[in-house]
Amino acid sequence: MTEPPGPLLPRHPPSVDPETPSIRGGQVAIGIVAAIVGHVLTIVLTYPKLSAVNVAAQGVLFLVCSVGGIVLLSRRGRYRGLGLGLLIGWAFGVITLPVIGFGLCMQALSNGS
């Protein structure tokens, strides 16, 4: 007869590479704030022409945050947290800032009438 299968857990825990620094929370927070500031700047700087110029500025911000975030996150350097923060901050800004803007527009319309 055959032996029963061994445990399904690995025999040795995976080793942590001492060359790879951990992701620091402060760097993630800086990346989030930088991406949200980028969103606010694109809105403020393109306010009178909210159509194609704002879309182009948001597209440039997307490229900077996504490419920069992925490059920083994939490197084994000190700034991995900054890359993660850029990605999180860009996504957070895309979701929340239009909702806030819509609410402010609705409030302005209701106060004006």
C-alpha–C-alpha distance, residues 48 and 61, integer Å: 19
C-alpha–C-alpha distance, residues 77 and 27, integer Å: 12
Q: What is the pLDDT of residues 67-110, one digit of tens each?
A: 999 999 888 778 889 999 999 999 999 898 888 777 777 777 78
Q: What is the pLDDT of residue 102?
A: 77
Would residue 88 count as lying in a domain? yes
Would residue 90 count as lying in a domain? yes
Q: What is the pLDDT of residues 48-77, one digit of tens each?
A: 666 677 788 889 999 999 999 999 988 877
Would residue 12 count as lying in a domain? no
Q: What is the 3-state composition of the chain as percent helix, strand, coil, each rounded to the nearest 5?
A: 70, 0, 30
Number of domains in the chain: 1
Q: What is the pLDDT of residue 107?
A: 77
C-alpha–C-alpha distance, residues 113 and 105, integer Å: 13
Would residue 7 count as lying in a domain? no
Q: What is the pLDDT of residue 8?
A: 67
Domain span including residue 36: 25-106
Would residue 52 count as lying in a domain? yes
Q: What is the pLDDT of residue 83?
A: 92
C-alpha–C-alpha distance, residues 85 and 39, integer Å: 14
**pLDDT bucket at 35, cuts 50 / 70 / 90:** very high
